[in-house]
Amino acid sequence: MARTPTHLLSPADQVRRRGLRTMKGVALGALIFMAVLFAFSFAFQQEIPALAYVRAAAEGGMVGALADWFAVTALFRHPLGIPIPHTAIIPSRKDEIGQTLGEFVETEFLRGDVVRTKLEQTAISARLGEWLSEPAHAERVAAEASVMASSVVQALSDDEVRDVIEELAREHLIAPDWAPPVGAWLGRIIDAGGHHSAVDLVADTIAAWLEANKTAFTGLVSRRLPSWVPSVAHRFVDDTVYNEAVKLVAAVRADPQHPARIAIDGYLARLADNLQHDPATIGRFEDAKLAVFDSPRVRELAAEVWTTAKAGLLHSLADPDSGLRRRAAQALAEIGARLTTDAALQRRVDSWVTDAAVFLVDRYRHDIASIITDTVERWDPAETTEKIELMVGRDLQYIRLNGTIVGALAGLAIFSIAHALLG
């Protein structure tokens, strides 16, 4: 089996490989030591009878070492490359091991009662609140959420968003009749006297314009007089018209019950009523609305709305000092503070999280566990074998070393008992 080059392994796997090689050397050294001891004691046991006990111990140690070497090696590969049945268990049964592991996780860990018990013993909301109440943590969450939101906004198709805005505008803004609501709104304003301020503003504006534009009245009326009328009369007519206009505006401004104001009130009241009940007025108003909001204008408006909103949102999400980011971080910190002090809120949040987790586990536990099975199936057998050997191989070499020691003690004990009983 080809091994992964050392430079391609992670630092942790490189450490594991060095430890595995060291323990393999120790286990092999114990076997060689037992073989040398066996050869020495076998050669000189006739001269030194006590060496028979040493030979028995060495013989048992070699048997134990070889048996455990075979057992350990058979897990990962064929011993000595010989395809002995029931060897190279991990590479040959990789998929079955993955399936069994997935089933074990599904039946023993991804059970609703197990998840509920664990979550109920964990103060989820309190811990989350303590963590969020730290300003740095709240800002970090806000920053990560901003990155995610920016990605979502940038992934949206501008044309599709414009189409949605246009459709919503047509359905909810343009298609419904405006005249009755506008008439009702105007009627409420008139009943409350809210239009008086607008009339005052118009009167004040006209007064200011008259004061600054007296020359605009020169010839306004006099140019329509016969040519034989003297120029003095022309000026008199123009001045009279201007002065009367100034007096009228001043009177309207000074008298809340001026006939002009009453006439405006009556006109607005009739307009409000006609917008609600007169089909002709309603029709003209709706025709004017459709003329203003024709198809090209609606699409241009939708495009401008989305472009402006998108640019502003992306700028606010990207700027750590923007009002949106600051308010988001502040809101998260406030939520964290509440979670640490509000026991009722803690119970509700813990209950929501627990119920949601149990629901997801009960509904999708097979799909979750299948991740293990599918992942193991995609692994290369040789790579899988090497990864598992690096994880547990060092401990398995202790089995070989222990087998050598236990075999030696067993061989010595068997020989001693047999010699004591049989001579």
Short-list 120, 126, 137, CA closest to 339: 126
User: Is residue 6 pLDDT above 70, yes or no?
Assistant: no
* Residue in this structure with the two tokens 């630092």, named with its chain if needed: 11
Q: How confident is the model at residue 404 (pLDDT cuts 50, 70, 90)?
A: very high
Closest CA to 328 of 45, 190, 138: 138
The H-assigned helical ranges of 121-170 are 124-132, 135-155, 158-169
Distance from C-alpha of 67 to C-alpha of 407, rounded to nearest angstrom: 10
Residue boundaries of the structural domains of the chain:
10-92+380-422, 135-340
Per DSSP, the three-state class of 221 is: coil
With residue 39 as reference, give the H or E element that holds it.
helix 11-44
Closest CA to 339 of 80, 129, 95: 129
Please give the average per-residue pLDDT across 61-75, as a whole number: 91
DSSP string, 97-110: HHHHHHHHHHHHTS
Whether the model clears a pTM of 0.85, i.e. scores above it, the answer is no
* CA-only gyration radius of the chain, Å: 47
Q: Which of 60, 58, 61 is nearest to 39 (CA)?
A: 58
For the chain, counts of helices (H) and of strands (E): 17, 0
pLDDT band at 215 (very low <50, low <70, confident <90, very high): confident
Mean residue pLDDT of the chain comes to 85
The residue with tokens 């505006």 is 249
CA atoms of 27 and 25, how far apart (whole Å): 6
For 112-145, what is each residue's pLDDT tens digit? 888 888 888 888 888 888 998 888 999 999 999 9
What tens digit of pLDDT does each residue of 332-376 get?
Answer: 999 999 988 888 988 899 999 999 999 998 888 888 888 888 888
Half-sphere exposure of 287 toward its Cβ, with a 13 Å CA cutoff?
6
Render the burial of 199-234: b for 16+ CB within 10 Å, e for the rest: beeebeebbeebeeeeeebeeeebeeeeeeeeeeeb
Q: What is the pLDDT of residue 7?
A: 57
